[in-house]
Amino acid sequence: MKAVIVAAERQSKEVSNLVAYIKDLDGTEVVVIPAIDETDEYPARNNYAFHQAAQIMAGEPFFWLEPDSIPLKAGWLKTIEKEYSLCCKQFMLSCDQNPPHDLIGGIGVYGPRTHEIIPKRIDGDMKGHGWDLWMFRKIPNMIHWSPLIQHSYGVYDNNGKAEPHRFPQNISIIRRESVIFHRDKYQDIINYKLLCAKNHPKQ
C-alpha cells in the first residue's frame, strides 16, 4: 500500500514538511501528486484533489494523507495495511465522531475502486459537502471504522467552532493504539517529535 498526498501550491511547505518527516520516521516514501486546481471554492477543490489521486491510484488501495495528518509511530502504514487486509471492506477510516459538529474525517485507506465509487462532483442533496461526508451518508456499509486512525478537529464551543489542538500541550488526548493523528493544523507533532529526537538521540 502506498501513502498519497496531493500538493496544492498554497500548501507546498506543509506538504514538504510532512513528506520529509515520514521519510525520516521509518523510510516510507509518500507519493506526491501536484494538484490540478479546477476551482478555488471549498469543498469542491478538495473533492477534485481527492478524485485526482483516486484516478491515479486506480486498481490499488492507497492511504490518503493531508498536510495536517501526522503519523505517530514507525511502521504506521504497515500496521494500517494489516488491519485493512482483514476487514473485508472497500474503505477504512477513523472510528472517531464528534457529533453534531464533526461526523467523519477523510484520512484513511481507499480501495482500488475508489475512483468508480466516489463521484468527482458531489451534487444533489449532498452538494456543498466533502466526499467524506458523502461516504458517511451514502455508503457507510462499505467503511471499516478503525481506532488506529485518530480524528479530532479540536475542542468545540457551543456554536460548533473548534479550537485547534496544540502539541505537546494536548498530547494526552492521543490514544495509545493510534498510529496517525488528524488534525494537527500547525504540524506541532512533527516539531515535537523532532525536538525529542534531537534531545534524546538513538544510541
Q: What is the per-residue pLDDT for 5? A: 98
Q: At what angle do helices 44-56 and 131-138 cross, to 10 degrees?
A: 80
Q: Please give the sequence-ordered ranges of beta strands (E in DSSP) within 17-169, or none if there are none.
A: 30-34, 62-64, 69-71, 91-94, 108-110, 143-146, 149-151, 155-156, 162-163
Q: What is the per-residue pLDDT for 201? A: 67
Residue 41, φ and ψ in degrees, nearest 5: -80, 135
Q: Residue 5: what residue type?
A: I
For 158-168, the pLDDT digits (tens) are 888 899 999 99
Average pLDDT over residues 30-57: 91
Contacting residues for 175 by C-beta, under 8 A, at least 6 apart: 147, 150
Residue 177, φ and ψ in degrees, nearest 5: -85, -10
| Predicted structure pTM score | 0.94
Domains of the chain: 2-199 (3.90.550.10)
Residue 23's closest CA among 194, 196, 188?
194
Q: What is the per-residue pLDDT for 157? A: 87
The Cα–Cα gap between 34 and 22 comes to 18
Q: What is the per-residue pLDDT for 7? A: 95
Element (H, E) at 4: strand 2-7
Cross-strand bridge partners of residue 94: 146
Average pLDDT over residues 26-55: 91
Q: What is the DSSP letter of 161?
A: -
For 153-198, the pLDDT digits (tens) are 998 888 888 999 999 999 999 999 999 999 999 999 999 987 787 6
Residue of higher predicted confidence among 93 and 43: 93
Say what the alpha-carbon torsion angle 134, 138, 143, 147 is, to the nearest 10 degrees.
50
For 49-108, the pLDDT digits (tens) are 999 999 999 999 999 999 999 999 999 999 999 999 999 999 999 999 888 888 899 999
Whether pLDDT at 203 is above 60: no
Contacting residues for 201 by C-beta, under 8 A, at least 6 apart: none
Whether pLDDT at 140 is above 90: yes
Whether pLDDT at 40 is above 80: no
